[in-house]
Amino acid sequence: MDSICFIFAGAQVELHNDQHPDRIYNSMKQPGRILIVDDNPDILIASRLLLKKHYSLVKTCAEPEPLTNLIAQFEFDVIVLDMNFTQDAISGQEGFHWLKTILSIDASIVVIMMTAYADIQLAVDAIKAGASDFLAKPWQNDQLVASMAAAFSHSQSKKTVDRLTRQTQGLSLAMQGAGHPFIGQSPAMLKVLSVIEKAAKTDANILLLGESGTGKELAARAIHQASLRANQTFLSLDMGAISGSLFESELFGHKKGAFTDAKVDRIGRFELAKGGSLFLDELGNLPLSQQAKLLAALQNRQITPVGASKPINIDIRLICASNNNLHQSVEDNTFRQDLLYRVNTIEITLPPLRERKEDIPLLVDYYLQYHGQRYRRDLLINASDMQRLTRYSWPGNIRELAHAIERAVILSDSDQLDISSIISSSSLSERTKKTPTPERFNLEQVEHTTIANALSHFKGNISKAAKALGLTRGALYRRLEKYDL
């Protein structure tokens, strides 16, 4: 068969009459960005002639020093790198140095190493150092094209993985929400933070207790961020908001057709949180029948979606929370003791705000800045008003404080925070001692007073207050918003 043979120093490119560069592998030109780095000009010419027929951009460089600028300018997919330049002839150490440099700049770049002084150990060392392939000079045209095709495919795969990883991290952050920092420097909070620091580094199950509004979800997020799973998903679920019929579907998922409204497969929270942390809030509201199903999942480390026959292994860090006294619930036979022992390997009780008054100025300053930026207000608070806020007992804890500061930021007319929307003409301390009796038979005033009394009686426990008032949790929350409680 007739052929045309180009022979360059150190490289041989042979093109048969039916292998014109335009027809090699009969492939369309790929949108690849290729760089060849070699101090032999003949190698650069030969490789560029061959590869420019297959890839949209092929650049050459006679020395490695410009690599940093070239990578920044062209964002190469593949770099073909000689192992020896001017410092030595055969050791390949220069090539290893520049290989490390390339990968430190952009780990998604795929590097092919080549040398005229090849041996098996050198090739093995190059692959171990991060190269995707190793070529000995002189190379044949089909060998270089095949190696380049594999390298380019590898490059595209790496870029896809990187993109998906960023998307996953973005989804994780979106699910986690921006949140608020877990603020506190009082003795009571320093004790809590010390326990969190120790427990977060393990995968031990953690139970968070405390009154409503004390920041249990903030604590859960702080635990997640301090854990080895910090780069994975954080998912939260309010157990009190799940109806009994949807409990298994919500936590374990279901298969299409498992029940009347199961029109598509659904992944449960346990599976969605795989590798990350799952936060189950208001655990004390879970009925005994559902407690048994949750306990079985935690004991077996497996779940079975509704309508499925094959169990799925779970890998989550479990954090639970309740504003009920679960130990008392066990005594009352409304909460399973074995489930309590399963979820409270580490038990942390968050103090109410009235027991950590030293933290109130920190919290006021934080929410003043946060809501100030949110509503484009630059406000200050004077010392006397700060003292008045500090003296208040804040029965709604951090949730009440954050809401009160937000309202004050919106309603303030000057550059000083107007706390008149937070306090009445009477002092804050008097407001916490007793709730005024309505002077008139005004229905809204009576409702306001009754709800305030219920919250005070149950120490901010929303579930118990709602039950005593004959309301659902949602209905009570709407009234709390209505009356600014």
Lowest mean pLDDT among 61-75, 165-179, 361-375: 165-179
Q: Is the bond preceding residue 138 a cis peptide, omega within 30 degrees? A: yes
pLDDT at 176: 47
Which band of pLDDT confidence, cut at 50, 70 and 90, is reported for residue 91? low
Give the residues across from 209 on adjacent strands. Answer: 322, 349
**54-63, 161-170, 303-312: least confident range:** 161-170
Confidence band for 134, pLDDT divided at 50, 70 and 90: confident
211-215, 261-265, 474-478: range with highest mean pLDDT: 211-215
**Other C-beta atoms lying within 10 Å of the C-beta of residue 93:** 12
Looking at residue 82, its pLDDT comes to 87
> Which is more confidently placed, 26 or 271?
271
β-pair type (133-136, 253-254):
unpaired
- pLDDT over 50 at 22, yes or no: no
Q: Average pLDDT in the 329-341 region?
A: 94
Q: Is the pLDDT of residue 27 over 70?
A: no
**To the nearest whole number, what is the mean pLDDT of the chain?**
82
In 43-109, beta strands by DSSP E: 55-61, 78-82
**pTM, rounded to two decimals:** 0.55
Q: Residues in the chain, how many?
A: 485
Range ranked top by mean pLDDT from 213-217, 242-246, 256-260, 428-432:
213-217
Domains annotated for the chain, with CATH where assigned, are 3-162 (3.40.50.2300), 187-351 (3.40.50.300), 354-433 (1.10.8.60), 435-485 (1.10.10.60)
pLDDT digits (tens, 9 = 90+) for 396-417: 999 999 999 999 999 988 889 9
Instruction: For residue 252, give the DSSP letter.
Output: H
Q: What 3-state class would DSSP assign to 235?
A: strand
> Where are the extended beta strands (E) located within 269-367?
277-281, 302-303, 312-313, 317-322, 346-349
The two structure tokens encoding residue 255: 């298969």
3-state secondary structure of 195: helix
Residues 335-341 have a mean pLDDT of 95
CA-nearest of 234, 215, 214, 216 to 224 is 234
51-65, 225-239, 258-272: least confident range: 258-272
Give me the pLDDT at residue 163, please. 61
pLDDT recorded at residue 17: 41
Q: What is the torsion angle, in degrees rounded to the nearest 10, for the CA atoms of residue 162, residue 168, residue 171 and residue 176?
A: -120
Taking each helix axis from N to C end, the angle separating 397-411 and 360-374, rounded to the nearest 10 degrees, works out to 50
Give the three-state DSSP class for 54: coil
Alpha carbon distance 193, 180 (integer Å): 15
Q: What is the mean pLDDT of residues 48-63?
A: 91
Q: What pLDDT sits at residue 338? A: 95
User: Is 342's pLDDT higher than 90?
Assistant: yes
Q: Rounded to 5 degrees, what are φ and ψ at 113?
A: -95, 145
453 or 103: whose pLDDT is higher?
103
What residue spans of 25-85 are helical by DSSP H? Answer: 41-51, 67-74
pLDDT of the residue at 138: 81
Judged by average pLDDT, the poorest of 144-148, 158-162, 404-408, 448-452 is 158-162
| Encoded amino acid at 374, one letter | R
Please give the backbone phi and psi of residue 236, each rounded to the nearest 5 degrees, phi first.
-120, 150
- Phi, psi for residue 81 in degrees, rounded to 5: -125, 125
pLDDT at 164 over 90: no
- What are the pLDDT digits (tens) for 279-310? 999 999 898 989 999 999 999 999 999 988 88
- Percent of the chain at pLDDT above 70? 84
